[in-house]
Structure 1
Amino acid sequence: MALSEMTVRHARITGNDYTLGDSDGLTLNVTARGGKVWLFRYYWAGKQKRMSLGCYPQISLKDARTRRDEARALVAQGINPYEHRKQQRLAVHAAKEHTFEAVFNQWVAFRRLSLKEGRQSTLSQILRIFNKDVLPTLGGRSIYDINRHDLLDLLSRIEQRKALTTAEKCRTWFNQLFRYALVKIEGLEHNPASDLDVVALPKPPVTHNPFLRMDELPGLMAALRNYGGANQTRLGLRLLLLTGVRTGELRLATPDQFDLEKRLWVIPAEVVKQLQLAMRKPSKQIQNVPPYIVPLSVQALEIVRHLLDQVVPAQRYLFAHRSDSYDGFLGRHSTKSQ
């Protein structure tokens, strides 16, 4: 006989457990202390099984019958309803545990193990770009829920601001991250980052920086001799041509870096771009990275001597900076001597 809401509500407390039957495998288990639990009884692999459908009154008689019908439908499809519910709960737990940001952090830690010394700057670039462009949008979402459209939408926003190189790198990193996740994250079945390059915007033609040919150098030197601006600008350009250093190394040159007797310019490692990379290696200590030695030709030495003669006590750099606390330096170097 089917149960009624009245029967369920007023089920007596007897001091012993007992069961009230409804229909199609649904029963109400009444405990010795009056607790009421809905159970569904079914047969699986020739054995009787039962599973809880929730407690009364949180789950009403109507709701319990709905849950029973859903479980019976699974049995009819050859699916064990208890195992099905267990897998669903595991999936929900996994979705909360495996957010995109959590998987990203695992992938970064894995990449850090495989990167060679001197390549750790790659990780810094990944972290900077993902923190700016990716994690604010995808970080809190489950890795299981992210699809190709989500990635394309994010890449499109990066491309719209003309950051095509950043978008290209993100496509590569997305693919690497999801390939890692496919192996490490249980239940992840596909890689939404595959083939994203098919719809990537083409990069514009590369425009290289202008350069001078050998036959153009005499014209440049003549233009420098006739330059009517600040003398230190003219001398600085000549020194660049004679030494081949970077502009930053020239701007940060200090008087104490020059050994006139040995005709050497000794540039500290922290100023030189190539040596800065060496200093980032975990096995290297700053004091063990040698400076950059630049031999000075007769012409370069002549320019350096002239500039050193013009240095005043408050001047920090070989070439006057705006931060140097003295007046009239440019005026003293406005002649065309040298």
Structure 2
Amino acid sequence: MALSDLAVRQAKATGKDRSIADFDGLYLFVPVLGRKAWHFRYYYVGKRERFSLGTYPEVSLREARDLRDAARGLLAKGINPRNERKRKRQAIVLASEDTFMAVYKKWLAHRQLSLDECRQGSYDQIQRVFKANVFPVLGNLTVHEITQAHLLDIIGKVEARGSLSVAEKLRTWLNQLFSYIKVVVPGIKENPAADLDVVALPLPPVDHNPFLRMGELPIMLQTLRKYRGRLKTQLGLRLLMLTGVRTGELRHATPDQFDLDRGLWIIPVVRLKQRKMLTKKKRKRMSDIPPYIVPLSVQAQEIVRYLLAQFKPAQVYLLPGEKSLLRPLSENTMNHALKRMGYEDRLTGHGIRATISTALNELGYLKKWVDAQLSHADPDKISATYNHAEYVEQRRVMMQDWADRLDLFEQNHVQVASMHLTITLQGLPTIASQAATQPPIIKPNTPTLIVAPATPDMPIVPESAQRLPAVELPDYAKPQPSNLQRERMKLLDLFEAPHHLRVVDYAALVGKSRRWISYEIQARNLLALSMGHRSLRVPDWQLDPLKRRLVQSVLASTPPDIDPWQTYHVLTEGHESLGGRSPLEAITVSNLEYLVGLVRDTFEAMQWPVSPFTTLSQMENATALEMMV
């Protein structure tokens, strides 16, 4: 007989525990002591089991029947209700531990294991993007609470500010993260980030890795020479132009990779972009993959030697980072430098490879040589292998030719530098004779570039065309001083002239203390010159008593605000009335007063304020009084 609310409410405890049946396995359990409770009795795999549904009156009769029906539904699916409740309770406990931040850190650590050192920039970027966009929304939630609406809100905000490429990367990372969560976190059956790309805003068309044609190289190379950023950034870009390696391979270059005796840069397999493809898809062993051998031109060797000479004890990479010697140059440094040079959207670090590839193919070099130099796939689709260790000697000649052509481009000899394999270099065989002659190793002391015309109508490069220094600035790239700077440099040379003595040296010569000479200068009894923060200089011709009297007379007759340099020039420059001689050169005992008057007239002609002229006798009396004191 089915229970009623009244029967349940009036059920009283007796001398022993008892159960009052409802129907379909639901019972009201009435203990001797304690509260009444609901039980569901059922058979599972031939065994009778009991399942508690809660206490009365917290769980009413209607609610108990609903819980029983839900349990019966699980039994119909072959699920034990008791085990299912244990699983849910365990999931609730784990949910407090499965916060988004905790699982994110586990995923990030797991992802870092699959990133080699060359891709640590991606690892850093993930952290920056999540910190700025994801943590403010999901940081305090558990992974069980996160829905697709949360993720759409995050992506929408990123797209709203126009960062479509960041939004695209974020969708990919969120999909990877929640795929990881679906596997490692119990109770997660859906990936809320799986279909976010369905509502993604379309990315604008992008010209990936734009490159330059040969006609654009002169201005680019000249601009690079005049780059006023850090020298190592400029040299890094020049190495890219001279070798064609990838920016990541250059950034992670270490000193042990360079064999300068043979003029080679040997990039290990672990640095190669194709490593994963060859080891996973082609199922090759690391030991079976040859290193990437890059022949170095004379210019490239000069840059490498310079950078190695600047190597510091704690430094790891050829091009270290700005904040730490243990880290490589930032992946964005070279692109930022190109942007500062005016090549935004016109050239990138990777676009330099396209520039080299296009130019060398247009010049007529074999495609296999070019692809080997750039570590591209062999154009022969049958082999489909990477030949970055082949054609080394042929590529050595090709890259030396390319380096010297770059020097010609930089010197505006565009027509000759662009000629189709007609340039020959001193000490190198012509391209036509390469089949019969093994190209020699280029030594650092290779002579000056010589261009020999192949045909009478080919333009001839003037003798002024030289192989340019790779590190030191050519004359045209050196900063030219302004007129003001030139005048200041002349003044500095004059200030540092040997006959201008430091105060301490002048004091030693006259047998006075340094303090005494300083008092003399302050009292305007001695002419002293100053320049910036440098110490004062005293012209040594004041050691002559007669010239000293002339200086004292002039200083006494001029206001204190007159620049000592102007007084110096008036005393040392020639005058027509003195036959082109200066007052200091023409001084005698008899013409002292005349010269003082001449100097005064010169000041008046300059319209300078002049104090009432002090007579020579007054000066002599003042000097005598000073000596007596």
Identify whether the pair has TM-score above 0.5, normalized to the shorter chain: yes
In structure 1, the partner of 2:321 is 276
Counterparts of 2:7 and 2:160, CA distance in 1: 66
Provide the alpha-carbon RMSD of the alignment: 4.9
* Counterpart secondary structure, 2:186: coil
Q: How does 1:173-184 map to 2 (within 5 A)?
A: 173-184=173-184
Return closer, same or farther for 1:161/1:79 CA change in 2, 3 Å cut-off.
Answer: same
* Counterpart secondary structure, 1:276: coil
Counterparts of 2:212 and 2:10, CA distance in 1: 92
Identity %, equivalent residues: 38
Counterparts of 1:16 and 1:242, CA distance in 2: 93
Counterparts of 1:131 and 1:114, CA distance in 2: 21
Structure 1, residues 35-94: CA drift from partner, whole Å, max 9, x if none?
322111122222222100101221123322332233334434544333333344344444
Counterparts of 1:92 and 1:156, CA distance in 2: 31
Q: How does 1:133-172 map to 2 (within 5 A)?
A: 133-144=133-144, 146=146, 150-172=150-172
Asked whether 1:203 is paired with 2:248, we answer no
Counterparts of 1:153 and 1:164, CA distance in 2: 14
Asked whether 1:35 is paired with 2:80, we answer no
Residue 84 of structure 2 aligns with an amino acid whose one-letter code is: H
Asked whether 1:240 is paired with 2:285, we answer no
Counterparts of 2:132 and 2:227, CA distance in 1: 37
Counterparts of 1:243 and 1:95, CA distance in 2: 51
Cα drift, residue 5 of structure 1: 3.7
Return closer, same or farther for 1:113/1:81 CA change in 2, 3 Å cut-off.
Answer: same
In structure 1, the partner of 2:67 is 67
Residue 227 of structure 2 aligns with an amino acid whose one-letter code is: L
Counterparts of 2:87 and 2:132, CA distance in 1: 35
More strand by share: 1
Structure 2 gaps, min length 5: 235-305, 329-469, 493-530, 535-629
**C-alpha contact (below 8 Å) 1:25/1:42 kept by paired residues:** yes
Residue 100 of structure 1 aligns with an amino acid whose one-letter code is: F
In structure 2, the partner of 1:326 is none
Residue 203 of structure 1 aligns with an amino acid whose one-letter code is: P
**C-alpha contact (below 8 Å) 1:12/1:34 kept by paired residues:** no
Higher relative contact order (CA 8 A, sep 6+): 1
* Counterpart secondary structure, 1:27: strand
**C-alpha contact (below 8 Å) 1:118/1:280 kept by paired residues:** no
In structure 2, the partner of 1:100 is 100
Q: How does 1:1-338 map to 2 (within 5 A)?
A: 1-14=1-14, 16-117=16-117, 119-144=119-144, 146=146, 150-194=150-194, 196-197=196-197, 199-206=200-207, 213-216=216-219, 240=227, 246=233, 274-276=319-321, 279=324, 281=326, 295-297=471-473, 299=475, 312-313=532-533
Residue 68 of structure 1 aligns with an amino acid whose one-letter code is: R
Cα drift, residue 130 of structure 1: 0.8
Counterparts of 1:3 and 1:123, CA distance in 2: 64
Counterparts of 2:110 and 2:70, CA distance in 1: 43
Return closer, same or farther for 1:203/1:61 CA change in 2, 3 Å cut-off.
Answer: same
Segment of structure 1 superposing worse, 50-59 or 204-213: 204-213
- Normalising by structure 2, report the TM-score: 0.35
Counterparts of 1:313 and 1:239, CA distance in 2: 30
Return closer, same or farther for 1:276/1:176 CA change in 2, 3 Å cut-off.
Answer: same
Cα drift, residue 168 of structure 1: 2.4
- Normalising by structure 1, report the TM-score: 0.60
Return closer, same or farther for 1:106/1:213 CA change in 2, 3 Å cut-off.
Answer: same
Counterparts of 2:203 and 2:476, CA distance in 1: 46
Segment of structure 1 superposing worse, 58-67 or 6-15: 6-15
Counterparts of 2:17 and 2:230, CA distance in 1: 96
Segment of structure 1 superposing worse, 59-68 or 161-170: 59-68
* Counterpart secondary structure, 1:240: coil
Larger radius of gyration: 2
Counterparts of 1:242 and 1:49, CA distance in 2: 79
**C-alpha contact (below 8 Å) 1:3/1:21 kept by paired residues:** yes
* Counterpart secondary structure, 1:275: coil
* Counterpart secondary structure, 1:127: helix
* Counterpart secondary structure, 1:109: helix
* Counterpart secondary structure, 2:102: helix
Residue 24 of structure 2 aligns with an amino acid whose one-letter code is: D
Structure 1, residues 289-311: CA drift from partner, whole Å, max 9, x if none?
xxxxx954574998699899679
Counterparts of 1:75 and 1:127, CA distance in 2: 46
Aligned residues: 273
Counterparts of 2:532 and 2:67, CA distance in 1: 90
Counterparts of 2:93 and 2:216, CA distance in 1: 65
Structure 1 gaps, min length 5: 222-236, 248-262, 284-293, 315-338
Return closer, same or farther for 1:313/1:196 CA change in 2, 3 Å cut-off.
Answer: farther
Residue 22 of structure 1 aligns with an amino acid whose one-letter code is: D
Counterparts of 1:217 and 1:111, CA distance in 2: 40
* Counterpart secondary structure, 1:203: coil
In structure 2, the partner of 1:228 is none
Counterparts of 2:88 and 2:94, CA distance in 1: 10
Return closer, same or farther for 1:170/1:242 CA change in 2, 3 Å cut-off.
Answer: closer
Segment of structure 1 superposing worse, 92-101 or 20-29: 92-101
